[in-house]
Amino acid sequence: MAEPQRYLQNLNSSQRQVATRPDGHLLVLAGPGAGKTRALTARIGHLLIARQIPAREITAITFSRRAGAELRERVATMLAPGVTKAIHSGDATEDTARRPAVWAGTFHAFGARILRAGGARAFGRTHDFSIYDDDDTERTVRRVLNALGVRSGSARASDTGTEGSETSRTRSDVVANTVRAISLLKRTAGGLPNKATASDEMDAIFAAYEQELAQANAFDFDDLVSLSALALGADDELLGRVRARTRHLLIDEFQDTDPAQERLIAQLNAPDLCVVADPEQSIYAFRGTSPLVVERFLDTWHPATIIRLEQNYRSTRRIVAVAQRLRDASPASAITEPQSSGRDASSRNQPPRLRLWTENAVGDQIRFWTTNHPDREASLIVADIEKRLRDGCPPEEIAILTRTHAQMRPIEAALLKVADLPFVIVGGVAFFGREEVRDIMAYLRVARTDDDAAAFWRIINTPRRGLGPAMVIAISREMLALHPSTRNPLCALRRLTADGRAPEGGYDLLALIDELRAQFASGSPLPNLVRSAIELTRYRDHLSHTHPDDARERGRRLDTLTELASRHSDLRLFLDEVVLSTQVDGPREDIGSVRLSTVHAAKGAEFDHVYLPGCEHGVFPLKYQPPQAGSDDLVSAFVTSENPGPAHLAEERRVFYVGTTRARNTLTLSACTFRQIRRAKPSRFLTEIGSDLLVRCDPGTSNPVTIPSPTVQRTSARNSRPSSELAQT
């Protein structure tokens, strides 16, 4: 057994309070780099060792599966070997009543456990349901819109058009907006259409989409949280079992909790609830989240203890001072509340502000470069990175963080011009979202069950086997003649082939699926099943024909998928792990490479050297573009109220704040005087930082310009504290 106080060693006084605070409601306000994971780990250790709480009563909710794995590893390292066996691997679908263990994972993984444990029955699904990812959802919505003949302006969703045409783009926008509307409905309205915000047309689309899911014995990603909360409310026996596993509930990144997740937390009603949050790092308004969730916690879970983690262990004093300046510039509580809420600011149960500080070195000056064009900005950043690499800096300790994907194009072009400069773009398509990975996984899904319609439609003609649009229509019509219990496209195809009404490719597809099913039924190891799917489909030949330029790289991803499959013995668990993985949960592709990503994709990461380009009005902060008057956009009822005015600016400041706080040692900001053939104005966030902290340098260097920059002069005397900020210890 571990020494009684071992888990409390190397904690500061605030972290020690978090670890040892008795049961109750606890809000931990943690600044960036303040050691929150260390504190959470110690709290779990205190529960297990000092208080002898059974591991099966402790659950930790994390932002990503990777964060959950890190938390489990830290607990395992802290505890003696005899205790580490209680640390559960975090598989998303383990029955909630089995295996006494500390569980750590995401809200969606936890919701999947609840639905697998019996919650799915409340919605007419079996425990063996499929989980639709965003691509499955998009394909299903597209079929629904086609069936309903939904229009958008002059373009019909079912019209045909050439790739890249205006009609094609309009159809794509309709699908994307509809997917977004459905997601927001489930995240904010508990999974049911809200007549106050959704049109009759949206109600019809929603109902048809839900019918498609039910017929396929599937839930989509948002259902895992919103419907698991409803399932607990409808099943007292299930609720009792789940509450027994969550008597001690710890939630990280609580500021990113959406309303559906709040409802799930309320159903759990944990007597010991510890949440860790920083309202200034709430940057997912487009997902229905708001920093107001921290205030709501204090209202809902009153009385609650508040502990502040303010000491930064990550960054230099100059970078911490920049972060504090941005916090000071935020509205009260870092939140701008909609006027419609009716709450007076004085009546809010506001959390206290954090005052960040550090004992780290003062560090290098915060550089600011200005240049005339994004191409020039990109070349300066890349040239500076080359110098750092020549000086021995590991590539993975350098990051270029952008506000938008569009900003990446000139930077990527500049990086490509430099031979032997390794870099990776993060924040685009994740590993498990790659076309080739999804295709092979779809074959495994169809091998497991007849019901997975989304997987079948994905692979019906991939690789090409002559099953084009005419066959898709024939299968869809045949499905109408089937009994509801077998109304799926695979059964329809079997009827068509049995009657001789299918082309040769239909027989080939069924033979391939049946071969995979035979291997699955015989207990073939998962890696062998993956290899068979690749070989039987001749998928590598398919890549050579369709993607000749990067077929080899795509083939390597299939090798990686095969290796990942070797870590699992259960196909369903493997499929769930894939669909429940977030942007950061796939295999690491940035080791040994400079990272180019959006700020959102860098959430939770840290680097020695960070570059933030595009510090201009319209980019950072991003220009708010409300829907046009008279728009018949299906989701206009939602997006018209999303981040208007001051709330949008507050959100943009938080994104900028997250970007700056990823840096450990150096931070370089840059702006262009022209972007997209328009004159650009420097970001107001530069003014908020102030010229006493932000040093304008000759572009591409650390040499201060001789003439002070008027664009970054301080406008507020309340923040003029450079000497005290840099002298804090």
Give the architecture (CATH level 2) of 6-121+224-311: 3-Layer(aba) Sandwich (3.40)
Token pair of 412 as six digits: 């990527």
pTM of the predicted protein model: 0.86
Q: What is the pLDDT of residue 470?
A: 94
Of the CATH numbers 3.90.1150.10, 1.50.10.20, 1.10.390.10, 3.40.50.300, which one belongs to the domain with range 366-429+589-706?
A: 3.40.50.300
What distance in Å separates the CA atoms of residue 36 and residue 19, rounded to the nearest whole number? Answer: 10
Backbone angles phi, psi at 607, to 5 degrees: -145, 155
Residue 383 amino acid letter? A
655-675 pLDDT tens trace? 999 999 999 999 999 999 998
Token pair in block for residue 408: 């990446």
Q: How many Å apart are CA 388 and CA 682, to the nearest integer?
A: 27
Whole-Å CA distances, 337 to 79, 284, 448: 44, 15, 48
Intervals of the chain under pLDDT 50: 1-2, 4, 81-100, 152-169, 195-197, 333-347, 627-644, 710, 715-723, 729
Question: CB neighbours (10 Å) of residue 510?
Answer: 17
Tokens of 479: 């499905």
CA–CA dist 40, 307 (Å, integer): 13
pLDDT at 91: 42
Residue type, 364: D
d(CA 91, CA 71): 14
The confidence score (pLDDT) of residue 203 equals 87
Rounded Cα distance, 436 and 544, in Å: 12
Q: What is the pLDDT of residue 700?
A: 94
- Both tokens assigned to 624: 């708010």
pLDDT of residue 196: 46
DSSP per-residue letters across 514-532: HHHHHHHHTT--HHHHHHH
pLDDT recorded at residue 184: 87
Cα–Cα distance list, 426 to 69, 406, 429, 583, 596 (Å) = 20, 13, 8, 9, 6
Q: Where are the domains of the chain?
A: 6-121+224-311, 130-149+172-216, 366-429+589-706, 431-581
- 230: its two tokens: 């409803």
Are 366-429+589-706 and 431-581 equal in CATH topology?
A: no
- Side chain identity at 452, as an amino acid letter? D
Q: What is the pLDDT of residue 160?
A: 32
Phi, psi of 195 (to 5 degrees): -65, -20
Residue type, 543: L
Fold category of 431-581 in CATH = PCRA; domain 4 (1.10.486)
How much is the pLDDT for 158?
34
